[in-house]
Amino acid sequence: MRNLETDLIHKGEQYNETRAITPPIYQTATYIAGETIDEQLADATSTKSPFFYHRHGNPTNSQLGEILAKLEKTEDALLLATGMAAISTAVLTCVVAGDHVIAQHAHYAAAQVFFKEFLPAYGIEVTHVDQTDIANFEAAVQKNTKLIYVETPSNPNLEITDLEAVAQLARNNKIFTIVDNTFASPINQTPRDFGIDAVVHSATKYLGGHSDLTAGAICGSKEFIHQAWRKSLLLGASLSPMDSWLLLRGLKTLTLRIKQINENALELATWLEGQQGIKKVTYAGLPSHSQHALAKKQMHGFTGMLTIELSGDSEQIGYSNAQTVLKQLEIFANAVSLGGVESLVTHPASLWNSVQQREAGVKPLFPLGLLRISVGIEHIDDLKADLKQALLSLI
């Protein structure tokens, strides 16, 4: 078996039937049928068929499937148009009306709406638990629980879920488990190692790595991917040939990028803890993170995701400080998304408090002075200098 770095460059090359080193972009909706009607029927019905019709599959998507399966240590993987397509397709492969799902109290915002509003509207019951304590998952198990869905580290609070404990609990109760591994990336965390059944990704983020595509992936057993593929034929969110090609290219440098991002983020987080104007730094790699020991147990590196809470005697001052810092920053762009080579910063309270606060009177989840940072691969000295000048403008 070859090593990961080699497989990221070469795995699945057999799907490139040309002599080009870089595979072509298969910009086609359909493919000429095989010699016989039987061959065509086989193409029509085989899982992820690369040469039938684009919604069924595409050669680049098949190649990516091999690479993603290798990354997540699963038998197979299915590529889709977005991370949300991967999440919704994977979940709807597991549950039907009358079933029950355990999810976390904090998820990526659109996933949260999917669990809070979409599933219940189709007769699927969802219990949301504080994921920092396994006892909460245990207490939520019902007779009809079919799925435990977790995300670790979670967006944007960077809370950690104990993967081994969740997998154990699920196994004991014959419940399927899915992890959103987007924030960690498979370089830093492979949930299969702890007995988790399937993994989903927004490949828009670290896997693509250049903020130039949207894509999603489901990684799991051959049987689960077959079932998810059948659902995907109906839900229809196939990954476009161009985005597929860009993702294949982005993945070649995944290990290099993640290594640099891990290093930059750890150094930046450590440095930020000592800076004036900052009340709190949250980063899974810092000993000050309340779940640092668990993060160390299940992660090899701590990713580029961190948050800073700016000082301020009141929420309002925190808010105006956040606005000032966002305006002053020159390298860090104020943009949603994450996981690219470039550093980005967002203000969770403006983006997500409204989504999370649908039920009136609920306390805002995110302080007004909180900023989420996705650290890129720029030179660390330039990143520090940029944050330093922005923080100095507060004083």
Ligand X SMILES: *Cc1c(COP(=O)(O)O)cnc(C)c1O
Residue 200: phi, psi to the nearest 5? -120, 155
* Residues in 106-125 that interact with ligand X by CB under 6 A: 108, 110-111
DSSP 180: E
By CB under 6 A, how many residues form the interface with ligand X?
A: 16
CA distance 23 to 98: 45
Reply yes or no on whether 11 is catalytic. Answer: no
Instruction: For residue 51, give both structure tokens.
Output: 């040469």
Q: Where are the alpha helices (DSSP H) in 21-159?
A: 37-45, 59-72, 83-94, 109-113, 119-121, 134-140
**Based on CB atoms, which residue is closest to ligand X, 111 or 158?**
111
* Residues in 178-207 that interact with ligand X by CB under 6 A: 180, 182-183, 202, 204-205
Reply yes or no on whether 108 is catalytic. Answer: yes
**Based on CB atoms, which residue is closest to ligand X, 108 or 245?**
108
Q: Which of 228, 208, 243 is nearest to 77 (CA)?
A: 228
Distance spanning both ends of the chain, measured CA to CA: 56
Nearest residue to ligand X, by Cβ distance, number only: 83
Reply yes or no on whether 55 is catalytic. Answer: yes
**Based on CB atoms, which residue is closest to ligand X, 244 or 321?**
244
Asked if residue 211 binds ligand X (CB under 6 A), the reply is no
* Residues in 135-164 that interact with ligand X by CB under 6 A: 151, 155
CB of 236 to ligand X, least distance (A): 15
Reply yes or no on whether 180 is catalytic. Answer: yes
How many degrees, rounded to 5, is the angle at CA 57 between CA 52 and CA 62?
A: 120
**Based on CB atoms, which residue is closest to ligand X, 132 or 154?**
154
DSSP 14: G
Query: Burial, 2: exposed, middle or buried (Cβ in 10 Å; 0-12, 13-18, 19+)?
Result: exposed
**Based on CB atoms, which residue is closest to ligand X, 108 or 176?**
108
Asked if residue 56 binds ligand X (CB under 6 A), the reply is no
DSSP annotation string for 253-284: THHHHHHHHHHHHHHHHHHHTT-TTEEEEE-T
Task: Choose the catalytic residue: 15, 26, 31, 108.
Answer: 108
Would you give the binding string for ligand X spanning residues 212-231, x where CB under 6 A is met?
--x-x---------------
Sites of contact with ligand X (CB under 6 A): 82-84, 108, 110-111, 151, 155, 180, 182-183, 202, 204-205, 214, 216
**Which residues are annotated as catalytic?**
55, 108, 180, 205
